[in-house]
Homo-oligomer: A and B are copies of this chain.
Amino acid sequence: MADNARVLVVGTGAIGSFYGAILSRAGARVDVVSRSEHAQMQEHGVRVDSKELGDLSFRPATVYKDVTEVSTPPDFLVLSVKVLDDLDRAALIRPAVGPDTAIVLIENGIEIEPPIVEAFPDNPLVSCLAFVAASRVGPAHTEHKAYGRLVIGSYPSGVNDAARRFSALLEQGGINAPLSENLVTERWRKAVWNAAFNPVSVIAGGASTKDILGSENEERLLVALMQEVCDVAAAAGHPMPEDLPEKSIVNTHKMPAYHNSMALDYIHGRDMEIEAILGNVIREARRLNIPVPHLETVYGTTKMLQRRIAAKNAEATS
Most buried by B among A218, A304, A309: A304
Residues A296 and B294 in contact in the complex (CB < 8 Å), given A203-B203, A215-B307: yes
Copies in the complex: 2
Q: Report Cα–Cα, A217/B224, bound state, in Å.
A: 22
- Which A residues between 297 and 318 are near B, CB-CB below 8 angstroms? 297-298, 300-301, 303-305, 307-309, 311
CB-contact partner of A297 in B221, B305, B311, under 8 A: B221
Q: Is the Cβ of B301 less than 8 Å from the Cβ of A200?
A: yes
A85 is an interface residue with CB less than 8 A from chain B: no
A204 on the interface (CB 8 Å rule)?
A: yes
> Does chain B have a CB within 8 A of A205?
yes
Instruction: Tell me if B304 and A203 are in contact (CB < 8 A).
Output: yes
Bound-state Cα–Cα, A305 to B294, Å: 17
Q: Is the CB of A224 within 8 A of B296?
A: yes
Inter-chain contacts of A203 with B (CB < 8 A): 203, 301, 304-305
- Asked if A218 and B300 make an inter-chain contact with CB atoms under 8 angstroms apart, the answer reads yes
A205 & B301 in contact (Cβ 8 Å cutoff): no
A293 is an interface residue with CB less than 8 A from chain B: yes
Which residues 194-228 of A have a CB within 8 angstroms of B? 200, 203-205, 207, 211-212, 215, 217-218, 220-221, 224-225
Does B308 contact A221, Cβ atoms closer than 8 Å?
no
Question: Which A residues have a C-beta under 8 Å from some C-beta of B?
Answer: 200, 203-205, 207, 211-212, 215, 217-218, 220-221, 224-225, 293-294, 296-298, 300-301, 303-305, 307-309, 311
Besides A207-B304, A294-B294, A298-B301, 10 other CB < 8 A contacts?
Answer: A203-B301, A203-B304, A205-B305, A211-B311, A212-B304, A212-B308, A215-B307, A221-B300, A293-B297, A301-B301
